[in-house]
Amino acid sequence: MTAADGPRVWVGCYACYNNGELAGRWFDIDGGDREAIDQWITAHRARRDDPVYGPHEEFDAFDHEGLPRFIGESLHAALRAAELLEELEKDTGAPAAACVGILEDLGDLEDAGDVIGAGELIYCGEYDHPVWHELAGEHVDAGYYGPVPAELVGFIDYDAIGRDIEHSGRYTLIERPGGAHVWERCY
Ligand SMILES: [Zn+2]
């Protein structure tokens, strides 16, 4: 994962925000690393905590990149998501966009943590449209349906097999231009 595609968060201070000032900056949070964020918060508080106007103690992710949308403004969720993304990339070899996509699809970090921890996700790869048709061809070639006599190959209905694969519920497509990343879920 490169610095350009995240995961990154723009961490901001609420006390400053409530006073009409935007105090914050972008941080790379690969693997859920929060050391730089904690250092910045400590330095910010040392300058800005005020005995009269009160402490600056609430910080959140005002913006983020390379993370699922559902984390909203939660810094805690952003860091946990970044941690899971790194784990998923290492375990499956999937590209960052595919990992963010499947996390988005799972929709909940606790569930995602269970699924990823159990090693239930297999990254099948990138396929061009029609994706289900392509997968059907691959499954037939790989012998999922047993050996096919050469004289019958021309009669195989790949679209029907593709529909069967689609309806099995085992696969999740993460759309990309011209095709999709394909994940398989093994229970
Ligand atoms: Zn502040």
Decide if 117 is inside a domain: no
Cβ neighbour number for residue 23 with a 10 Å cutoff: 18
CA of 77 to the centre of ligand 1 (A): 21
Decide if 158 is inside a domain: no
| Residues lying with their CB under 5 A of ligand 1, a single-atom ion | 13, 15-16, 23, 48, 56
Q: Packing angle between helix 96-106 and helix 75-92, nearest 10 degrees?
A: 120
CA of 25 to the centre of ligand 1 (A): 12
pTM above 0.85, yes or no: yes
In our burial notation (b when 16+ CB lie closer than 10 A, e otherwise), range 73-84 reads ebbebbbbbbbb
Decide if 171 is inside a domain: no
Decide if 30 is inside a domain: yes
In this prediction, residues 100-118 reach a mean pLDDT of 96
- The domain total for the chain is 1
Decide if 161 is inside a domain: no
Sheet holding 179-185, edge to edge: 121-128, 179-185, 171-176
The kind and range of the H/E element at 40 are helix 35-48
* pLDDT tens per residue across span 128-182: 999 999 999 999 999 999 999 999 989 999 999 999 999 999 999 999 999 999 9
Decide if 45 is inside a domain: yes
CA of 13 to the centre of ligand 1 (A): 5
CA of 48 to the centre of ligand 1 (A): 6
CA of 46 to the centre of ligand 1 (A): 10
Q: Which domain holds residue 23?
A: 1-89
31: pLDDT strictly greater than 80: yes
* pLDDT tens per residue across span 59-106: 999 999 999 999 999 999 999 999 999 999 999 999 999 999 999 999
Decide if 85 is inside a domain: yes
Decide if 78 is inside a domain: yes
